[in-house]
Structure 1
């Protein structure tokens, strides 16, 4: 028993509750599902963060490769980040993909979150004598600019239950041709789109839309997963590449990377933030598109839709797919 049993996410903002648990012997280092300071950094209040930071042996202790300060930056909790820095956490300590919390913050909504060392450009990390970067490169700055633009263009919209294929370098007509799509009767299509869930699931899974966007096209199925399946992605990515996304209502966003018909990566979680083992580029993308799975899928394929129409409809072309086993690549 760690003394944290039953605490809800909101509990990490309740200073009185946290103080009472600590007074009763709760472990400030471990709560059974990770480090309390990490949870507080992401979900809690500055008062709780300060309380826990004063009680742990190492304010920069890591969980899954990152510190509590990293978690605060990732969660857009600048007040918590400032408390941790004041408690001795190192903003410039490299973590995932060589990124430090300080550099990551430069790509976020509060770029001046941490003061940079005198002399500019580099600092000496707490765990290494080697200089570490304290600025974004020109390429990274452009990635941040375009990423913010893409997220803003798409906006916020419901996409749970939607299947997507974001494919580079082909337009909607070519996507339909590659999938062997056939035109739909106009009256039937109008009735179907008015209430797709009134139809049998097997019927709806064979109806999709394709829309040309800058950089390529998006194949969408707002009521199903077919565009993201291995079979559909293999056909769509011949000679090119793409990102498949299914916003599974039961288990969350599921992603895959397919290049020239071959699955390169699967069981990805777009919109969930950077992962351990990510390259430096992937860490930045993961940060920019956290909580924006559709933007992450589009960005990977180099697509720049002007709005959410390619995802939600009306599509450039609605069509019927051949009745095949799309789980076969």
Structure 2
């Protein structure tokens, strides 16, 4: 995937579902009316910027991103998209480091402890190996955890396949 700057980015890697399925699960709509350049320049000045996400089909599933905020790593989002599958997510908080979720079939398995930096000793062998292999590359750790095979970093660094607007609701639970 190469090296890229991802502070402020949130990411959800979802195994086995397409962007169409993820969009339906999230009840999202196309964000065709949003000035994406304005979001990149000053997202804090754009109303409802926290509800705009990017989504891209990749081999093995889909990638959901938000370059300027934490919404792609909220429990409400990752639980909805992980029904019947697995989702690895992260938020690279410029003020507080990296956190993330592992969610299986809409149930949070763990929070933060399974990031590429902190894997518990009782984790499955494949998670320990992935944590070692991707210890300095948390986005790659998330992709590997969801068994996604990205050809390049574009689904994460952009532009995504589509921009979506999430419905107004509490995504924090």
TM-score w.r.t. structure 2 length? 0.91
Aligned to 1:241, which of 86, 103, 125? Answer: 86
Query: Taking structure 1 as reference, are residues 173 and 192 closer, same or farther at Cα in structure 2, changes over 3 Å only?
Result: farther
Aligned 8 A contact 1:273 1:289 in 2: no
Cα pair distance change 1:228/1:237, threshold 3 Å = same
The answer for the alignment partner of 2:38 in structure 1 is: 192
The structure in which a higher percent of residues are strand is 2
Is 1:221 aligned to residue 35 of structure 2?
no
Query: Computing the radius of gyration over CA atoms, which structure comes out larger, 1 or 2?
Result: 1
Tell me which of 244, 255, 260 is aligned to 2:105.
260
Structure 1 unaligned blocks of 5 or more: 1-153
**Aligned residues, how many?**
173
Cα distance in 2 for residues equivalent to 1:274 and 1:261: 21
Provide the rounded CA distance (Å) in 2 between the counterparts of 1:183 and 1:280: 40
Give the structure, 1 or 2, with the largest relative contact order (CA under 8 Å, sep 6 or more). 2
1:171, distance to aligned residue in structure 2 (A): 1.2
Cα offset, 1:281, TM superposition: 2.5
The 1:194/1:251 distance shift into structure 2, 3 A limit, reads: closer
Deviation at 1:198, TM superposition (A): 5.1
1:272 matched residue in structure 2: 117
**Alignment check: 8 A CA contact 1:274 1:287 kept:** no
Is the CA contact 1:273–1:287 (under 8 Å) kept in the aligned structure 2? no
SS at match of 2:48: helix
Query: Would you say the 8 A contact 1:253–1:269 is kept in 2?
Result: no
CA 1:185/1:282 → structure 2, altered by over 3 Å: closer, same or farther?
closer
1:295 paired with 2:154, answer no
| Bigger proportion of residues as helix | 1
SS at match of 1:205: helix
Q: Aligned pair in 2 of structure 1 residues 190, 274: CA closer, same or farther (>3 Å)?
A: closer
Q: 1:172 aligns with which of 7, 12, 19?
A: 19
CA shift at 1:173, angstroms?
1.8
